[in-house]
Amino acid sequence: MTGVSNELGRASVLSEIWAARYRTPARFVALVALLLPWTTTGVTFALIPWLIAFAFVDLREFPRSLLRPVCLLPIGLVLLALAGTLWSDAPWPDRLHAVGPALKLLAIPLLIYQFERWPYGNWMFSAFLASCALLMVYSFAVAIDPALSLKLYLSRGPYKVESGIAVRNYIDQSQEFGLCVIALVYPIVTLFRDGRVRSAILLAMLLLGFLLNMIFVVVSRTALVTLPILALVFALLHLRWRMALLAASAMALVAVALWSVSPHLRATVAKFQGDYETSTQDNKVSGMGSRLEFWRKSLGFIADAPLIGHGTGSIRELFAGVAADEDVDPLRGQIVSNPHNQTLSVAVQWGVAGVLVLYALWFAHLLMFRGEGLACWIGLLVVVQNMLSSLLNTHLFDFAPGWIYVLGVGVAGGMALAKQSTMDVRAS
């Protein structure tokens, strides 16, 4: 009997080790999400063990899964970026460097495949929320004493001390906090409906913390544009018309109240007009004014090569070419490699072909989240936020917002497809 028990014990241990090959990749994805709000280097190193662990899962169905548009389109955009190096006039180091931001999209098919089959996606959501919550608390501390900012010690510098910016920059921080604010609305409403009031109140307090940080500490203008639209999306999708109207009215009243008590919020909104006047009247560099100039020049570059663009990594060379005669003008003489608009960035490099792939990618991923549930809500939110914020930035190619998109679409997409498959099986 003892021998049989030992054999059973060894078999149980071996089965646990064998089953862990599915949990281990999910743990590394959760680690990536945990590190994402804080460090780019840590994320890069955490991706390596995830890729190694992913290689040990059952990959027999993986080639077939790549044939779906939600997987093919990210791959297609990367292939287009690689092909674009062949007709670009930029130096080869610039061409290859410009391919890098698109490579992260290759992780989307892997994540979809992984989380469509193994139900550990909530680990990633929880890790990202917990990490952002810690960052929010630390941001309040940095607002009190800017010398506490980790940028002074962990980032390449030197950096000037900024109130409330714990790591990286206020745009990434606002992107992360804004995502958490709207994402938390769904579980809060669901918990209240289910009678789990304590849990709902705890999440509501966390939501309030993020919101207060954005109102009184630091917020980007991109977040101010996207947050109301995302809130409206939630109201239209998950509330009845009467409740949606009441929620919209309540939001308007809250916005008026916050406007009256937050000098920081008023100053951030006023920068739109201030930047425009600074650039148009004084020809000085400013955030919004410079963007308008980048967009104007980019449209001219697109008109010169509308079908397949100027090639990967060509943006800086193009701006340098038109700035040669305008170097006395600080605004119009700027040389940049980023026009601060995702569509224009793609169109300049890869023309209409690139824009078609980009928008097909966004809409294919939107359609993946048509169902109900937390995963569908988070996935939809991530895609819509990326589309909106990409009007003022290149957030699909930027590091932190781009990886938020990759993780959100990949993990939530896999969970949504798994749920849909289960429903289809039950219906049949």
Task: Return the H-helix or E-strand segment holding 351.
Answer: helix 342-367
- Structure token digits, residue 290: 């410079």
Note if the bond before 158 is cis, omega within 30 degrees: yes
Contacts 24+ apart (CB under 8 A), 252-261: 255/228, 258/215
Q: What DSSP string describes 17-35? A: HHHHHHHHHHHHHHHHHHH
Per-residue model confidence (pLDDT) at position 320? 84
Q: What is the DSSP letter of 60?
A: T
Those residues with Cβ within 8 angstroms of residue 370's Cβ, 6 or more apart along the chain or in another chain = 376
**Would you say 332 and 323 are in contact if contact means Cβ atoms under 8 Å apart?**
yes
Among 336, 305, 330, residue whose Cα is nearest residue 87:
305
**Would you say 383 and 88 are in contact if contact means Cβ atoms under 8 Å apart?**
no
Average pLDDT, 10 consecutive residues per value, the chain (428 residues) = 51 51 80 92 91 86 92 96 93 92 95 89 92 93 84 63 79 89 88 88 91 83 78 69 59 59 59 55 59 86 92 89 64 76 94 95 93 89 92 90 95 91 68
Q: Whole-angstrom Cα distance, residue 387 to residue 359? A: 9
Give me the residue label for tokens 């988070």: 378
Q: Is the pTM of the predicted complex or chain greater than 0.85?
A: yes
Per-residue model confidence (pLDDT) at position 31? 92
**Would you say 185 and 234 are in contact if contact means Cβ atoms under 8 Å apart?**
yes
Per-residue model confidence (pLDDT) at position 24? 80
- Structure token digits, residue 137: 């608390």
**Would you say 30 and 124 are in contact if contact means Cβ atoms under 8 Å apart?**
yes
Per-residue model confidence (pLDDT) at position 398? 92
First to last CA, the chain: 47
Give me the residue label for tokens 């409906």: 193
State the SS3 of 108-139. Answer: HHHHHHHHHHCCCHHHHHHHHHHHHHHHHHHH
Per-residue model confidence (pLDDT) at position 39? 87
Task: Return the H-helix or E-strand segment holding 348.
Answer: helix 342-367
Q: Whole-angstrom Cα distance, residue 333 to residue 324? A: 7
Three-class DSSP category at 318: helix
